[in-house]
Amino acid sequence: MDDKEQKPVHRGLKKGLYVIPTAFTAANIAMGFIAVLYSIRGYHLSFAQPDLASWYFNRAALAILLAILFDTLDGRVARMTKTATEIGVQFDSLADVLTFGIAPIALMYSWAIGSSFTEQSSEYAFGVFLLFMYLMCGAFRLARFNLQATRPRVLMEGTPKVDKKNFVGLPIPPAAGLMAAIVHFAPTPLIAHGDAGARYYTYLMMTLITVLSVLMVSTVKYSSMKTVGVGRRNLYLVLVIAAIGMLMFLYSKYMLLILSGTYVAHGLVWYAISFLRPRSRPAAEHSEANI
């Protein structure tokens, strides 16, 4: 009787595996929380101590960039250990709203918009509006992804068919990652460049925020990178990752900006190539033309 009532050896281990992806998601939330706090602190120091403010802005940007790593690992670990759950998907999306939605907004406001324009100016109001729209587009992007992930065959008419190799629209983590990489590259608050310089650079950032918002709700396809590491050439992949990791350690300001910018741009390049590529006409149209 004791042997029959004894639980299987691997049952406890299996339950423990479910904690690992959740731990990575919790680390993702922690990075977003830190990024918001450091952004607020940096904003308070922007006018009196720009050097110290740049330290806080840099740490906030690094927290967002590190959260991208945690966000990538939680999904991969869940798939590798076969511990993906419905609540895990929803928990991950809520974490992304904080870390890649609210945290980059706080960083952009503190580093650029909030200090470059006066609160009574129309530029300030428009900048806040753009930040709000970025958050709305990011939340919509996450909601659409959850719908496509859980019910890929029950989609609204006109919604593009989803495959595992591509995302429809720019994912919110790389959108936040590009803004964080820019701040990491130049963490000094924009107000330190003078009124004219601050306004000019803030206009550029507002343009970037607009582009990223539109790309998130667009139908432009982006590689999901989920097939990376699958196949017979894993050794070459390990060498490439090791090389990129070393370059990021030595030249993080340049490598993070290049990698994030390349990912955001590659979807537009694919879209432009597919749009400009001549499409073959259906056979029926050819037959009618010959008649």
In this structure, of 4-8, 58-62, 104-108, the range with the lowest mean pLDDT score is 4-8
Confidence check: pLDDT of 289 > 50: no
Number of H helices, E strands in the chain: 13, 2
Of residues 276 and 3, more confidence is placed in 276
Encode pLDDT of 52-86 as tens digits.
Answer: 999 999 999 999 999 998 888 877 776 676 666 67
Number of domains in the chain: 1
Tokens of 52: 């110290």
CA quadruple 242, 247, 249, 253: dihedral positive or negative? negative
Of residues 148 and 100, more confidence is placed in 100
Confidence check: pLDDT of 254 > 60: yes
Encode pLDDT of 162-214 as tens digits.
Answer: 456 788 889 999 999 999 999 999 999 999 999 899 999 999 999 999 999 99
* Residue whose C-alpha is closest to residue 34's, from 98, 116, 114, 111: 98
Query: Which H or E element spans position 172?
Result: helix 172-185
Encode pLDDT of 107-154 as tens digits.
Answer: 999 999 998 999 999 999 999 999 999 999 999 998 888 777 666 544
User: For position 10, what pLDDT does the model report?
Assistant: 47
Of residues 91 and 198, more confidence is placed in 198
Share of residues in the chain with pLDDT > 70 (%): 76
User: For position 17, what pLDDT does the model report?
Assistant: 63
Calculate the average pLDDT of the chain.
82
Tell me the pTM. 0.82
Residue numbers of the domain that contains 74: 2-290
Region class of 284: left (phi > 0), else alpha (psi between -120 and 50), else beta: alpha
User: For position 283, what pLDDT does the model report?
Assistant: 44
- Rounded to whole angstroms, the Cα distance separating 23 from 19 reads 6
Of residues 277 and 155, more confidence is placed in 277
**Res. 245 pLDDT band, cuts 50 70 90:** confident
In this structure, of 6-20, 50-64, 118-132, 249-263, the range with the lowest mean pLDDT score is 6-20
* Residue whose C-alpha is closest to residue 93's, from 165, 130, 59, 144: 144
Region class of 162: left (phi > 0), else alpha (psi between -120 and 50), else beta: beta
Residues 6+ away with beta carbon under 8 Å from 36: 60, 98, 102, 103, 106
Confidence check: pLDDT of 6 > 70: no
